[in-house]
Every structure is written in C-alpha cells, then in structure tokens.
Homo-oligomer: A and B are copies of this chain.
Amino acid sequence: MLKGILSVLLVLVTLSSAIGKPEKTTPKKEKRIPQTLSRGWGDQLIWAQTYEEALFWSRSKNKPLMVIFHLEDCPHSQSLKKAFAEDKEIQKLADDEFVILNLVYETTDKHLSPDGQYVPRILFVDPSMTVRADITGRYSNRLYAYEPADMKLLLSNMQRALKFLKTEL
C-alpha cells in the first residue's frame, strides 16, 4: 500500500509539472475522441457530472450516491477501474440502485476526504446528504481505498449502503 501511495504522489508530481509545460499534446489537425463522463468506469451507466448534480439526484430519487475519486494516469486507479467496469454484479447494482459520480478533481466538501485526499478512493453518501464515513475498505491507512481484489468487499459495501438506507430512513 505504501508503494501505492508513493505512485500516487508521483502521479500528482508528474501532473503538476506537466501543467507548467505548453499544453495541447493532441496535434491540432487530428480528430479528438469526445471525452465521456464514464471515463471507462462503465460506459453503459448513467453518470452525474458534478457533485451538486449527484446530490440533487440522490435526494430526488432517494438513492445512495457513490463517489469514485481517481486519476487517469494512476496505475492503481486504472486497475481498479478495469475490475469495476468488468464486474457485472457491481455494474448492475450501480445502475439500478445508485447515483454515481467519478471525479478526477477534488470537491470543496471536506466530508468527502475523511482521511485525506488520495486516489483511488470510494465514498458513499446517503440521500440525506450524510457522507457514510463508516463504510470503509480493508486498508487501515487508507480507509476508502480499494484494490482490484476487493470487488466482493465493494459489492458488500454497496449493499450495506442500501441496507442502512432502508432501516435508517
């Protein structure tokens, strides 16, 4: 996991240093592929664009919100994304019962980073707009991190987010 954190830091440093350079890596004349909201986390799912939009839909539909923080260039994010996108049970449950949002930039809401800003991390928010800081993964030093091997835990955490919804509200 420490290795993971170091990689993430490295990615952040690379990202920051890349910002200083002249942009436009895509040559002008070449046709760009339009960016998608899914960013590869499930092209068949309906993604919210912003946290505000996601909260609005969560309240309107009375569905829990799942927020995935990731970085496009981070190998840990990439491998989690692959596992997430390929897991049919997770995709179906996300599609049926959740409002979903994936972000490559942090929001201003500090409740979404209970133990710091790192990627990848997954937070659940219930329709009353309470961040479910109690739904955690298996790493004590990064409570909301998941690895590709943790898909069963993630699925059971999704079910927990739904169960609390029914018993608590």
Question: In the complex, what's the smallest C-beta–C-beta distance from A165 to chain B, in angstroms?
Answer: 17
Q: For residue A31, which residues in chain B have a CB less than 8 angstroms away from its CB?
A: 44
Distance in angstroms between the alpha carbons of A50 and B101 in the assembled complex: 11
Q: Name A103's contact: one of B35, B50, B103 (CB within 8 Å).
A: B50
Establish whether residues B34 and A43, one from each chain, have CB atoms under 8 Å apart when the complex forms.
yes
A168 at the interface (CB under 8 A from B): no
Interface size on A, residues (CB 8 A): 27
Q: Scan A66-86; emit 1 where CB is below 8 A from any B CB, else 0.
A: 000000000000000000000
Establish whether residues B47 and A35, one from each chain, have CB atoms under 8 Å apart when the complex forms.
yes
Q: Scan A10-54; emit 1 where CB is below 8 A from any B CB, else 0.
A: 000000000100010000000110111110000110110111110
Distance in angstroms between the alpha carbons of A34 and B47 in the assembled complex: 9
The secondary-structure label for the interface of chain A is: loop
A140 at the interface (CB under 8 A from B): no
Q: Name A105's contact: one of B44, B46, B47, B50 (CB within 8 Å).
A: B50
Establish whether residues A61 and B19, one from each chain, have CB atoms under 8 Å apart when the complex forms.
yes
A134 at the interface (CB under 8 A from B): no
A106 at the interface (CB under 8 A from B): yes
Distance in angstroms between the alpha carbons of A105 and B19 in the assembled complex: 28
A141 at the interface (CB under 8 A from B): no
A167 at the interface (CB under 8 A from B): no
Task: Please report A residues at the B interface, Cβ cutoff 8 Å.
Answer: 19, 23, 31-32, 34-38, 43-44, 46-47, 49-53, 56, 60-61, 103-108
